[in-house]
Chains A and B, each alone.
Chain A
Amino acid sequence: MEQDERGLARSREPAHLLWLALFATAPVTAGDDALVVLSWGGAYERAQQAALFAPYTAATGRQVSVQQYDGGLEGLRRAVASGEVPWDLIDMTRSQAMAACDEGLLEPVSPALLAPAPDGTPAEADFLPGSFGRCAITHSIFATVVAYRTDAFPGRRPTRIGDLFDQRRFPGPRALQDTPAVNLEWALLSYRVPREELYRLLSTRRGLDLALERLDALDEIHWWQAGDTPPRLLAEGEVVMASGYNGRFFDAMVNRGAPIEILWDGQVQEHETWAIPRGGPHPEAAREFLRFATDTERLADLARHIPYGPARRSATVQVTTHPESGVDMRLHIPTHPLNAERAMTKDETWYARTRSRIQALFRDWRARRESQ
Chain B
Amino acid sequence: MKPLFAVTRAGREPLAVARFLGLVLLGAVIGAVAALVAVGFVAAVLGLNDLLLISPRSRMMFDHPSLLLVITVAVPTLGGLAVGLVHLAIPERRPHTPADAIAAVQTRRGRLPLRAGGLSALSALISLGAGASVGQYGPLVHLGATLGSLGARLLRLGRSEDNVTIACGVAAAIATAFNAPLAGIVFAHEVVLRHYALRAFAPVAAAALVGHVIAANVLQRGALFHVAETAVPRPWEFIAFLAIGGLGALVAGGYMSTLLGVTRLARRLARRLPLAAPLRPALAGALLGLTALWVPDILGMGQETLRFATIAGAFDSAELLLVLVLKIAATGLCLGMGFGGGVFSPALVIGTLFGALCGTLVGQLSGAPQETFVFYAVCGMVAVTAPVIGAPLTSLLIVFELTGSYALTTAALASVTLASPIAAQLFGRSLFDIQLVERGLDLSAGRGRAMLRGTPVMEHLTDEGVTLRPQTPVDEAVTALCRARHGEGYLVDAEGRYRGCVSLADLEAAREATQQGMQNAPPGDSGATQRVGEIAPLARPVLAPDASLWDAMAALEDVIGEALPVVDAEGAFLGVVFESSITRAYLAHGDELRREEHGTG
Tell me, yes or no, whether A203 is within 8 Å of chain B by CB: yes
Which listed residue (B60, B63, B220, B308) contacts A350, Cβ 8 A? B60
Instruction: Kindly list chain B residues whose C-beta atoms are within 8 Å of the C-beta of A180.
Output: none
B221 at the A interface (CB under 8 A):
yes
Please, which residues of chain B bring their CB within 8 A of the CB of A206?
Answer: 304, 308, 314-315
The reply to whether B56 and A203 form a contact with Cβ atoms under 8 Å apart is yes
- Does B97 sit within 8 A of A, measured CB to CB? no
A195 within 8 A of B: yes
Chain B residue nearest to A195 (CB atoms) is: B222
The answer to whether A200 touches B220 (Cβ under 8 A) is no
B189 to chain A, nearest CB (A): 30
Chain B residue at smallest Cβ distance from A351: B61
CA–CA, A20 and B447, complex, Å: 81
Across chains A and B, the number of contacting residue pairs, with CB separation under 8 Å, is 66
Interface pair A200/B221, CB less than 8 Å apart: no
Of A186-194, A236-244, A250-258, A319-327, which binds chain B?
A186-194
A196 and B61 within 8 A (CB): no
Identity of the chain B residue whose Cβ is nearest the Cβ of A350 in the assembled complex: B61
Q: Check A193 against B314 for contact (C-beta < 8 Å).
A: no
State whether A199 touches B220 (Cβ < 8 A): no
Partner of B308, one of A194, A195, A203, A207: A207
Cross-interface CB contact of A194 among B61, B222, B296, cutoff 8 Å: B222
Contact size class for A?
Answer: 20 to 34
With a CB–CB cut-off of 8 A, which chain A residues contact B55? 200, 203
A193-B311, A200-B304 as given contacts; A357 in contact with B228, CB under 8 Å: no
Contacts of B62 in A (CB 8 A): 353
Range of interface residues on B (Cβ < 8 Å): 20 to 34
Whether the pair B311, A197 counts as a contact (CB closer than 8 A) is: no
Whole-angstrom CA separation of A259 from B196 in the bound complex: 63
Tell me whether chain B's interface is mostly helix, strand or loop, or mixed.
Answer: loop
Q: Is the CB of B59 within 8 A of A203?
A: yes
Chain B contacts for A193, CB-based, 8 A: 222, 226, 307, 311
B228 touches A203 (CB 8 A): no
Contact A203 B311 (CB under 8 A): no
Q: Mark A187-224, 1 if CB is under 8 A from B, else 0.
A: 00001111111011111101100100100000000000
* Interchain nearest-CB distance for A261 vs B (Å): 22
Interface assignment of A354: CB less than 8 Å from any CB of chain B: yes
Q: Beyond A203-B60, A350-B57, A350-B60, is A197–B226 a contact (Cβ under 8 Å)?
A: no
Chain B residues in 8 Å Cβ range of A203: 55-57, 59-61, 304
Does B232 sit at the interface, judged by CB under 8 A?
Answer: no
Q: What is the chain B residue whose CB lies nearest that of A357?
A: B63
Instruction: Mark out the residues of chain A between 319 and 368 whose CB falls within 8 Å of any chain B CB in the assembled complex.
Output: 349-350, 353-354, 357
Q: B301-314 vs A: 1/0 string, CB under 8 Å?
A: 00110011001011
Residue B239 CB within 8 A of the other chain: no
A192/B228 in contact, CB under 8 A = yes
Question: Using Cβ atoms and an 8 Å threshold, which residues of chain B touch A202?
Answer: 60
CB contact between B304 and one of A192, A204, A349, A357 (< 8 Å): that residue: A204
Taking each of B60, B220, B304, B314, which has the highest tally of chain A beta carbons within 10 Å of its own beta carbon? B60
- CB-contact partner of A200 in B57, B223, B226, B311, under 8 A: B57
In the complex, the chain A residue whose C-beta lies closest to that of B374 is: A192
Chain A residue at minimal CB-CB distance from B227 = A192
Nearest-Cβ distance from residue A238 to partner chain B, whole angstroms? 31
Which B residues touch A210, using CB under 8 A? 308, 311, 313-314
Q: CB-CB < 8 A to A194: which residues of B?
A: 221-223, 226
- In the complex, the answer to whether A196 meets B221 with C-beta atoms within 8 Å is yes
Interface string of B153-192 (1 = CB under 8 A from A): 0000000000000000000000000000000000000000
Enumerate the 4 nearest inter-chain pairs by beta-carbon distance, A residue then B residue, closest first. A194-B222, A203-B60, A353-B61, A203-B56
- Which A residues have a C-beta under 8 Å from some C-beta of B? 191-197, 199-204, 206-207, 210, 213, 349-350, 353-354, 357
A-B pairs with beta carbons under 8 Å apart, 11 shown: A193-B222, A193-B307, A194-B226, A196-B220, A201-B307, A202-B60, A203-B304, A206-B314, A349-B61, A350-B57, A357-B63
